[in-house]
């Protein structure tokens, strides 16, 4: 049995990269089983990807590895509402993703559970990764800025 935490991050601004994550914990009494979670973060191609589209991509990925009785955990009330509570899918950009996810969900029959963001291990991991990426971009921009300033000062003889 597995517990699969999922999360997604959209990208609506230039330079942003949409991602989704699956954070899989095996529930096993087998001493030969691997220790620790399996974490996969995948970039989503495209210029504009909404948060909900990224969440659905994460759910679809989780459903491809899920089996009956596995638990999929998300902090997206929208996903849980659409898939398990019959909420209408009003956004045209989500309809195809919903149909794909719903078909897999019905085939695999896992449990889909909503939790608060602070309890979603995939969300926590994705937040840390996003902070690290922002820090690295700022550091690279500062380095580029410092390098260009050095060139200007050298050209002026200072």
Q: Encode pLDDT of 123-143 as tens digits.
A: 999 999 888 887 877 777 776
CATH topology of domain 2-129: Nucleotidyltransferase; domain 5 (3.30.420)
Alpha helices in the chain (DSSP H): 51-65, 77-84, 92-108, 121-155
Residue 49's SS3 state is: strand
Residue pLDDT, tens place only, 84-120: 999 999 999 999 999 999 999 999 999 999 999 999 9
pLDDT at 28: 67
Q: How far out from the chain centre does Cα 97 lie? A: 15
Most confident segment among 13-22, 65-74, 141-150 = 65-74
Tokens representing 118 are 């602070």
Confidence tier at 157 by pLDDT (50, 70, 90): low
Percent of the chain that is helix, strand, coil (3-state, to 5): 50, 20, 30
The Cα 103–Cα 42 span in angstroms is 22
Task: Give the tokens for residue 123.
Answer: 């969300």
101 φ, ψ (degrees, to nearest 5): -65, -45
Residue, of 38 and 148, whose pLDDT is higher: 38
Residue 158 has pLDDT above 90, yes or no: no
Three-state secondary-structure class, residue 129: helix
DSSP H helical segments within 12-117, as ranges?
Answer: 51-65, 77-84, 92-108
CA distance 3 to 124: 16
> Please, which residues bridge with residue 121 across strands?
none
Which pLDDT belongs to residue 138? 77
| Tens of pLDDT, residues 50-83 | 999 999 999 999 999 999 999 999 999 999 999 9
Please answer whether residues 112 and 72 qualify as being in contact, where contact means their C-beta atoms are separated by less than 8 angstroms: yes
Place of tokens 């896992």: 110
């Amino acid at each position: 049995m597995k517990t699969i935490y999922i999360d997604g991050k959209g990208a609506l601004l230039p330079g942003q990269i949409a991602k989704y994550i699956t954070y899989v914990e095996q529930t096993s009494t087998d001493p030969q089983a691997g220790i620790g979670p399996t974490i996969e973060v995948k970039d989503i191609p495209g210029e504009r990807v909404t948060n909900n589209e990224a969440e659905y991509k994460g759910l679809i990925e989780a459903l491809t590895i899920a089996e009956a009785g596995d638990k999929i955990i998300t902090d997206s009330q929208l996903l849980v509402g659409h898939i398990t509570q019959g909420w209408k899918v009003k956004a045209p950009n989500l309809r195809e993703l919903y149909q794909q996810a719903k078909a897999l969900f019905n085939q695999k029959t896992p449990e889909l559970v909503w939790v608060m963001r602070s309890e979603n291990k995939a969300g926590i991991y994705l937040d840390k990764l996003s902070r690290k990426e922002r820090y690295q971009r700022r550091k690279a921009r500062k380095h580029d800025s410092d390098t260009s300033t050095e060139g200007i000062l050298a050209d002026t003889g200072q």
